[in-house]
Structure 1
Amino acid sequence: MAVASVTHLNFRGDAREALAFYQSVFGGELVSVPHADDENLVMWGQVAAANGFRVMAYDVPSGMPYSRGENAFFVSVRGETAEEVVPYWEGLSDGARVHQPLGPSPWAPVYGMLTDRFGVTWVIDASVAG
């Protein structure tokens, strides 16, 4: 039996745009279910790629409290090789604030951290130099 952890991101009206952006970076299939009372908002959405990347998202309804938050979570994408993760870094960098440029680190041959244009902080690294 296997258990998978999937990051679930909460937005206030940006979920559909964010999922489309993540699909453009990682590939895969985007599925989106609108809120029953507002078709412009996502009740549940997901990007699932053959390479194992998964992310879910939804738009918090206006009647519920929501704070974009600061440092509430990071999304970690770890590939087997540097070659594998560089395209993800390049895609996520579009409109992002880079905290740590992609490069060698004490624990990985390549590591970087950025906050994308939707306020989500990503850490990208590889387990081997490749």
Structure 2
Amino acid sequence: MSVNAVVHLNFRGQARAALEFYQSVFGGQTTIATYGDFGMPAESPDATKVVFGEVIADNGFRVMAYDVPGTHAPVASGAPTTRRENGTTHTTEPFFFSVRGETVEEVGTLWERLADGASVIEEFGPAQWAPGFGMLRDRFGVTWILDVAAAYARG
């Protein structure tokens, strides 16, 4: 038996743009189906929103996303916050999206692409536990950790 965990991101009208951006960063193929594709009447305000979307790349990257339907979909109260202070992470977020690569060059390239329009929490660079580590919140509000696998972590 094989099991894969895949992050499924929930958006409010930005799923298509987010998926297209992530495909531009990580490569691969994007699949998008709208509520209209699944039978919602074309005149509905949600008909063009994403009901199922994913990016799958040859390098192992995979993400799924959709738009929460309805104009009054509930939004968590208070924006989540994350900051780095004295080498530790302080956050109110329930999760981070983590991407780990083998080399500083590989992960550094992904960092540069993902950082376009992002708020940097900690610049990408050497860390005590890894040859490369960085943290940012992308233009869609998703917080990412990018790091390089340390020799001791590869088992």
Structure 1 unpaired stretches of 5+: none
Matches for 1:1-130 after TM superposition, within 5 Å: 1-36=1-36, 37=40, 38-62=46-70, 64-67=73-76, 69-70=79-80, 71-128=93-150
Residues paired across the two proteins, number: 129
Shift of the alpha carbon at 1:5?
1.0
TM-score (norm 1): 0.92
TM-score (norm 2): 0.78
Structure 2 unpaired stretches of 5+: 41-45, 81-92
Aligned partners of 2:113, 2:16: CA distance in 1, in Å? 17
Check conservation: 1:82, 1:128, Cα contact below 8 A.
no
Aligned with 2:48: secondary structure? coil
Check conservation: 1:15, 1:57, Cα contact below 8 A.
yes
Runs of 4+ off more than 3 Å = 66-69
Aligned with 2:110: secondary structure? helix
Deviations 1:55-106 (A, max 9, x none): 0000001154233851232100001111211111001100100001001112
CA RMSD in angstroms comes to: 1.6
For the pair shown, the structure with the greater C-alpha radius of gyration is 2
% same residue: 57
Aligned partners of 1:67, 1:31: CA distance in 2, in Å? 28
Aligned partners of 1:78, 1:30: CA distance in 2, in Å? 21
Shift of the alpha carbon at 1:39?
3.1
